[in-house]
Structure 1
Amino acid sequence: MRKIGLSIFTSFIFLSFAQAQVHTLDKIAAVVGSGIILQSDIELQYAQYLVSGQQPNPSIKCLILQNQLTQKLLAQQAVIDSVQVKDEEVDSEVDRRMRSFIQRAGSQDKLEQFLGRSVIQYKDELRPDIKESLIAQRMRSQITEKVNTTPQDVKDYFEKLSKDSLPTYNKEVEVGEIVFQPKLNKEEKEFYKQKAEELRARVKKGEDFANLARLYSQDPGSAPEGGDLGFFDRTVMVKEFTAQAFKLKTGEISPVFETEHGFHFLQVIERRGEQVHVRHILVIPAVTQASLNRAKATADSVYNLMIKAKNFDFSSAAAYYSDDKETKYNGGMLLNAENVQTRSTYIPTDKLDPQVALITDTMKVGSVSKPALFNDPQTGKQSYKILYLKSVTNAHKANLEQDFAKLKEDATNQKLSRTISEWFAKRRKETFIKIDPEYQGCPPLKGWVSDETTAQAKTE
């Protein structure tokens, strides 16, 4: 069912994109200073929008053009201010996007059918726009880098809000966790290590690495691409993987090695400065009932210790016992996924993992739960967890005492938006901008063209 739907959708996009290129390839949609935006540039980004899984919506082209106009202005200022990005950064972003497109399309062959060209050709077409986009992002950051929000700014922002417009915050909780992941012993792991060794032996004997990766690799992100991970630097992968990737020469195949994800072996395809391009095959060991039983026994033991202790330190217990790297160094506390940048530990109850919400709903503040078995909805992995309910904040109207962090974020966003808007307003007045009449009625483009330029366009 999924494959049929994807095939129909891909065919629809391909036809739309191909027709748009035939009829509008050389049309100039806009001129910004010394730069031009072609209609084909807009159609290309609209095709990317569709292949990312979005529903057809031609009005999106107005937003695409607005984004390209802002990108051009920022990039042109970046040249003046000598703002640059490294080729390695561009290559990394190109590879990241291509992996995403291939995954969405279902395979590299399907993506190439949709595009009407090879992935290599498409990468070459994408690269200039991605480079300009990265430069524009860096220029935007430079414009706003001095924006600072003081406590007085937050107070002023709050006092200017009318009582009727004060935000209402839902019930929130602070929840900690200690995670006990099932671990296989040496004997249990041996079967999976041997499976990886057998696949490596087949590659060494001449079988195609990419075909074996598609058939047997358990890495969902790279298996459809023949195990290809694209280019990456030393900061991206886990240390064991990085060590193997960066010590091999082009064409060499690593021995089988273990990481937290399972057993791998990899082949280096290309080296480029401080980046390496590899493909790999991953074999993930399956959790056994015996390993689950061992995890539960450990969790029960830690729970009993915490119950017996009069004043237990949950933060220290999480740092010492938890197997979850994301929370153990944060005192075991879960972070609000919608406010990761602010590292807020206050999570609306409607945003909690349903498994966590079910348990914490009956807990008292300051208490810990008995160990319970959890299933990760994304990976399907199982683990035992002890939960800690640190605080509960009931639904309420915003106030400075309880919601300073949230109000500071809102005040900062307002200052950032105002700074960027003022910069663009000034740059638009100083820059020649001409937009094709087809797009001058777009609401997002209001104010981008002066009245004189609009009148001139209508008479042409």
Structure 2
Amino acid sequence: MTGNRRFFRKMALPAALLILLAGCGESGDYVAKVDGEKILQTELDDALREQYGTEVLDTLITNKIVELEAKKVGVSVSEDSIQEEYENLAESYGGKELLQTTLEENGLTEQSVKDNIRMYQLTKNVIAASIDISDEEVAQYFENNKDSYGQKEEIVASHILLEDEETAKDVLAKVKAGDDFAELAKTYSIDTSTNENGGEIGYISRGQMDEKFEEATFDLEKGSISDIVQTSEGYHIIKVTEKVPAEEAVFEDVKDEVYETVLEERINEEYTSWLAEKQEQYKIEKM
């Protein structure tokens, strides 16, 4: 979904959404008070229109062009695909509740975001209908980016981070004596992001961690525990619980994924010129 969100961000216009939402209240509503003096909804509406009016109008014109083109080429967007993208967005924010809080803080609603998603997907589908991607182009893209589709060597690790070497030696002695690693992490580790989970860091691939930490971790066998490893953060005791070997990607296994990536890139490349061409074809009158 990475490519989708990149394109979505290009099209998403929070200012446009804010001004479209701003006109929903009655003219007598107020949005704030200062020493009892009201700031009216109409004042906010006028300020938003003055600041973002041209941008919003251009967005609405673009949306109308997309809708007309969608009718011409016979493409649409399903509610299921909108919901799926919304749920992916919520997941990226840490859940629906956190996303909802963010929306409320910005004066947005779930429906306004879904409307934006719908327009993004409709635009994508309209432009995609005019793009021809050959099997050779997909295969070449795969060859040029093979490493990004393969399975990298990964390790699942946990650690106990200590502030000083003396404490690290004491804790390592407890580990070697058979004390539970996870419980020791909860008791002694100063890494507040992992200690409550028994020191679990999760999946690690090369290039993500401190060089000394990484070297020690990837040298360990599954189920084994390191000696004390010193980094700029402190003194680590590392346990490896899983090792995933590197595996080269097979084109046939990822062909559909590669095609979608190529399509996303082509859409991003052609969007501006496509829109300019359509603007020339339609009679646009601004009042």
TM band (smaller chain): 0.3 to 0.5
TM-score by length of 1: 0.28
Query: Which structure shows the bigger proportion of residues in helix conformation?
Result: 2
TM-score by length of 2: 0.42
